Amino acid sequence: MKGIVVFGSISYDRTLHLPRLPAAGEGVMATAVTHSVGGKGANVAVAAARAGASVALVSAVGGDGERAMLELRSAGVDVSHVAVLPELATAEVVIHLAADQSEFGITVPGADRHVTLKAMDDAISTFSGGHIGYLDGMVNDGGYVIRAMSQRGAPLVVNPSPVHPDVAQWPMELATIIMLNSGEARTLTGHDDEHSQLDALHLRYPGPAIILTLGPRGAWWSHRGEKEFIPTVQVSAIDSTAAGDTFAGYFLAAIASGIGSVDALKLASRAAAICVTRHGSMHSIPLRAEVMRAG
């Protein structure tokens, strides 16, 4: 099995449970507040580790990052390339989750946006030979990571989330796979229809395979003119916070073990289906044994 190296964010997540999302200018009283360690990179790394892969995370935490580091180590993630920057705070995400599962999140960037190029180079030199890379949109200098991994011929999955001006300029045509949801695809392409989004993404980024996720509907795999739709496993969802990250981590672990892309997506879909039946970020990510029993 190949290893996985994740370039991504680490955050402290605070979820406000609301009866409904407020309208502009309106206040709504929360029914509960939950706290967890999260961040797209951290969640993906933990999901891949729980799926049985060997995973290293390249990121940074602030002086308050001890709890995050402890949870990552406990989950089996190699944090030797996670910097501790005492002068900064760990990133924070405030998630507003309504009873009908509609939600929005506000990210306060922190130490994770201050990973040095040297730290990235060190990790790329260490892991590019026998690892699959994963990059999320919170990484500063993500374009540098894409070019460096490409120059070494190392496979790289890019998840351009959140889409911001820097991410829109990344040379994602050099990636192996681009994984994104329909909202992110809409931002990058200007199209609402999923088929138009896929066509526009292939035109803009010729070469990489595209994984387009559609939330509770499922996901598309599209590469070299061939498309396949993978439906979502239907469950009673209560919190979708880390579902996309669980999906990504299990997909990475599956392809690292030699499973074909479509079968890897089916496994990832089962893992994400378990995740949405639980509250929280990292704590909601299932173990491989749970996913295999569900299959």
Is 186 part of a structural domain of the chain?
yes
Could you report the per-residue pLDDT of 33-52, keeping only the tens digit for each?
A: 989 999 999 999 999 999 99
54: which residues sit within 8 A by CB, 6+ positions away?
A: 1, 3, 4, 78
Range of the domain at 155: 3-21+31-286
Mean pLDDT of the chain: 94
User: Does 240 or 64 have the greater pLDDT score?
Assistant: 64
Instruction: Check the CA dihedral 283-288-293-295 and report its sign.
Output: positive
Residue 295 pLDDT greater than 80, yes or no: no
> CA nearest 155: which of 255, 288, 295, 10?
255
Is 221 part of a structural domain of the chain?
yes
Write out the two tokens for 126.
């260490």
Q: Facing residues of 96 across strands?
A: 16, 104
Task: Specify the pLDDT at position 104.
Answer: 87
Task: Specify the pLDDT at position 124.
Answer: 94
Task: Specify the pLDDT at position 1.
Answer: 78
Could you report the per-residue pLDDT of 235-250, keeping only the tens digit for each?
A: 888 888 889 999 999 9
Is 291 part of a structural domain of the chain?
no
Find the mean pLDDT for residues 79-106: 93
Task: Specify the pLDDT at position 283.
Answer: 86
pLDDT confidence bin for 26, thresholds 50/70/90:
very high
Assess whether the previous peptide bond of 155 is cis (omega < 30° from 0). Answer: no
Please tell me the total number of residues recorded for the chain in this structure: 295
Q: Report the CATH number that the domain containing residue 250 is assigned in CATH.
A: 3.40.1190.20
Residue 121 pLDDT greater than 80, yes or no: yes
Is 26 part of a structural domain of the chain?
no
Task: Specify the pLDDT at position 155.
Answer: 96
Write out the two tokens for 161.
């989330």
Is 292 part of a structural domain of the chain?
no
Is 212 part of a structural domain of the chain?
yes
Residue 196 pLDDT greater than 90, yes or no: yes
- What is the number of domains present in the chain? 1
Is 205 part of a structural domain of the chain?
yes
Task: Specify the pLDDT at position 257.
Answer: 96
Task: Specify the pLDDT at position 18.
Answer: 93
Is 295 part of a structural domain of the chain?
no
Task: Specify the pLDDT at position 203.
Answer: 97
Element (H, E) at 14: strand 11-18
Could you report the per-residue pLDDT of 155-192, keeping only the tens digit for each?
A: 999 999 989 888 999 999 999 999 999 999 999 999 99
Write out the two tokens for 284.
């909601």
Minimum mean pLDDT range among 109-123, 244-258, 275-289: 275-289
Sole residue written with tokens 């890019």: 158
Residue 262 pLDDT greater than 90, yes or no: yes
